[in-house]
Structure 1
């Protein structure tokens, strides 16, 4: 699939953040049936959000990085590990490399923050995607928002 050119950038202003939330709503709330009150949480305000946007301004995907104390609960208290989450790509952009570009953008931001690894909770159906990007699963399957997940981590 070929898309018009796009860029991946840190969501730097309120309009970018709203675009991130709109993509998450479309993918998680509408498509996957995640309750809206679970999709948006107290970590959104302090998270680093990344946005993939076409040259015409249409948002294609998003993801977020938690770090420091916000990530500590997901990383066993290890402040050198960030938590990648809420990775969402609009249906029209899936299979085009946008998801990979978002993950790599989040990893780049994590490195700039001095982190040595990124942890994530992958939907079990997406675990292969993350494995191809160097993530390794740990622990058993668990459920979040009624969807099966697997813990995964990538060291830098």
Structure 2
């Protein structure tokens, strides 16, 4: 099944329904993040990414102009298929294309090993964000 998964740059306006459906399912429904924390003014400025299986959007991520990668989310039924890897690689490649040599993210503590595999290093102590333990992580491109 995973061979059919592809990632593309999304358009915040045009792809809004898919982006919202995935983030609402993962962050608001599953993780109980308050909607007012999930949706912010940065969405308009960000480069968004969508992962698809066939024509069905199953994952999303965003890259901010300062190199912050965030809102990495994959629908439950597609986890464990490297969808998150593909989304992260797309975001890192786009950051590098924009000459953003440092990529930053705020990771939920359980996801640290996932981001470490992609070259990120923990850069802070633990803190709570939306009630969940997080750390800041940084990746330096050559």
TM-score, normalised with respect to structure 1: 0.86
After TM superposition, the runs of 4+ consecutive aligned structure 1 residues lying more than 4 A away are none
Q: Deviations over 1:108-137 (max 9, x none)?
A: 110111110210000001111101111100
Aligned to 2:63: 65
Q: 1:113 aligns with which of 73, 98, 106?
A: 98
Aligned to 1:29: 28
Secondary structure of 2:69 counterpart: strand
Secondary structure of 1:8 counterpart: strand
Q: 1: distance between equivalents of 2:24 and 2:12?
A: 19
1:41-120 correspondence to structure 2 within 5 Å: 41-55=40-54, 57-67=55-65, 71=66, 82-120=67-105
- Number of equivalences: 141
Unaligned runs of 5+ in 1: 72-81
Q: 1: distance between equivalents of 2:15 and 2:94?
A: 16
Shift of residue 102, structure 1, vs aligned partner: 0.2
Distance change (3 Å), C-alpha of 1:107 and 1:134: same
Q: 2: distance between equivalents of 1:4 and 1:111?
A: 25
Q: CA RMSD for the aligned pairs?
A: 1.3
Secondary structure of 1:140 counterpart: coil
Unaligned runs of 5+ in 2: none
